[in-house]
Amino acid sequence: MTVTARRATIFALLAALMAATRLHHFAAIPDASWAVFFIGGFYLASWQRWAFPALMVLAVAVDWFVISSQGLSFWQHYCVSPAYWCLVPAYFALWAGGSLLRRHLSTSAPIAIGQLVVALVASVTICHLLAQGSFYWISASVADPTLAGWWKNYSDWLLPYMRTAALYVGVAAMAHVLLTRVLPKPATAVRPLHAD
């Protein structure tokens, strides 16, 4: 399998995972969107110009579908305020974290694990700051925003988002280790998948 075919497969899997889990935002299956953007940044860094926008369009399309299928107007839903569009830089923070991890990933397993943890924690923290902060301060959903109220909301939700992203990224990291030991090297004379 060529590098391009592998990347196309990864993109398709990430898109399917996000669509399947984002459809059920508050169901038993947690939304994988944050992990998808982080993993996408790691594997699809060279496809950033089209892969990141394509995943953003998919995220908005799924949100539109979910809201519209409930008989609600997408543009009047409480989640879709001017703050909704801050998801673009928020998700890009995740993408950038994955991309930076890929560029600086050590060949030493213990160091690589540490790098993964640092990159994921930093990316999720920044993403949450942008997504939750913009919703809290910009949307009309919060009647009387205060610094203390924002901090409580931010700190209450950070750990659940971190846990969900870590779960999906952890599974992806284990799959990466297993597959890189099983699959043959790409058929073309290009750098390995883990070094962009």
pLDDT tens digit string along 113-159?
A: 999 999 999 999 999 999 999 888 887 777 788 999 899 989 999 99
Per-residue pLDDT tens digits for 51-62: 999 999 999 999
Burial of 169 per CB tally in 10 Å (0-12, 13-18, 19+): buried
Q: What digits encode the pLDDT tens for the residues 3-62?
A: 888 899 999 999 999 999 988 755 678 999 999 999 999 999 999 999 999 999 999 999
Residue 195 has pLDDT above 60, yes or no: no
Q: Which residue has the higher pLDDT, 21 or 180?
A: 21
74 against 178, higher pLDDT = 178
Which tokens go with 118? 């640092």
- Spatial separation of the C-alpha atoms in residues 34 and 151, rounded to whole Å: 21
Lowest mean pLDDT among 74-78, 80-84, 117-121: 74-78
pLDDT value, residue 186: 60
Helix (H, G, I), strand (E, B) or coil at 190: coil
Q: How far is CA 113 from CA 107, 146, 164, 178, in A?
A: 10, 38, 18, 15
Measured from the Cβ of residue 185, the count of other Cβ atoms closer than 10 Å reads: 12
- What is the reported pTM? 0.88
**190 has a pLDDT exceeding 60:** no
Q: CA triplet 13, 172, 58: central angle to 5 degrees?
A: 35
What is the per-residue pLDDT for 196?
Answer: 47
Q: Which pLDDT band holds residue 170 (cuts at 50, 70, 90)?
A: very high
Please state, in angstroms and as integers, the Cα–Cα distance from residue 141 to each residue in 8, 71, 95, 134, following that order: 39, 20, 28, 11
Cα–Cα distances in Å, from 92 out to 36, 69, 87, 167, 189? 11, 28, 8, 20, 30
